[in-house]
């Protein structure tokens, strides 16, 4: 069996669901535009630069979830999927995912974006397994805090290892292990798999991929 892991934002999606969710909340008047938009842009630039403080970002990202009941959030997410996410899913991305699923590989999305935002996106791709940052819940409501290790940078390795262990597997269980990503933030996990693939990569990852002889593809 082969293992195939996909980063989500700017890899399978032609855009960033994390950033777009914040912009969507602004568009609905659910957060203060002036303050929230500036912070959202600041965190996004820090992510691209590789300087993101993931814990400060999660404090920012998860706080709005704690202010609303789950039923209301789920309804908002359905609108978000239609308005913001579906236009970011390209035919090439769908075809690549389908080819790996049809091959019988074990396929998962591995993303730093929280599982509330990304769960429905994974299902839209037909991917059953999601390794994401987990927003903590209590009595059916989000607390505004993360649970466990964020799936970011080296944390992706820890979370993938724990997911595989839960099924009695480990990275060496597979004939091949692929990881598709656009970001230099994912270099720790890209270095761990047998077949790393750079997808529409940022400049740092592109240079690294070219130096290492990794495939570079586009899904746009």
Which one from 9, 16, 18, 186 is the annotated catalytic residue? 9
CA distance 14 to 12: 7
CA distance 220 to 216: 13
Q: Hey, which residues does 142 pair with through a beta bridge?
A: 137
Read off the DSSP letter of residue 104: T
Which one from 7, 18, 186, 202 is the annotated catalytic residue? 7
Is 53 known to be catalytic?
no
Asked if residue 19 lies in contact with residue 57, where contact means CB atoms within 8 angstroms, the answer is no
Is 18 known to be catalytic?
no
Query: Which are the catalytic amino acids?
Result: 7, 9
């Amino acid at each position: 069996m082969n293992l195939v892991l996909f980063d989500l934002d700017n890899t399978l999606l032609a855009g960033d669901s994390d950033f777009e969710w914040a912009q969507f909340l602004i568009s609905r008047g659910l957060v203060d535009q002036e303050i929230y938009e500036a912070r959202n842009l600041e965190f996004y630039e820090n992510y691209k630069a590789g300087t993101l403080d993931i814990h400060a970002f999660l404090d920012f990202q998860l706080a709005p979830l704690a202010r609303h009941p789950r039923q209301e959030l789920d309804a908002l997410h359905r609108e978000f999927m239609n308005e913001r996410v579906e236009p970011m899913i390209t035919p090439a991305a769908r075809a690549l995912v389908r080819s790996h699923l049809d091959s019988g590989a074990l396929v998962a999305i591995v993303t730093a974006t929280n599982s509330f935002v990304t769960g429905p996106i994974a299902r839209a791709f037909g991917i059953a397994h999601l390794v994401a940052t987990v927003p903590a819940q209590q009595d059916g409501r989000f607390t505004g805090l993360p649970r466990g290790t964020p799936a970011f940078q080296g944390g992706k390795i820890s979370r993938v290892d724990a997911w595989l262990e839960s099924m009695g597997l480990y990275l060496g269980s597979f004939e091949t292990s692929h990881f598709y990503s656009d970001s230099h933030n994912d270099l720790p996990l890209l270095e761990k798999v047998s077949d790393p693939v750079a997808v529409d990569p940022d400049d740092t990852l592109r240079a690294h991929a070219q130096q290492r002889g990794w495939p570079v593809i586009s899904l746009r």
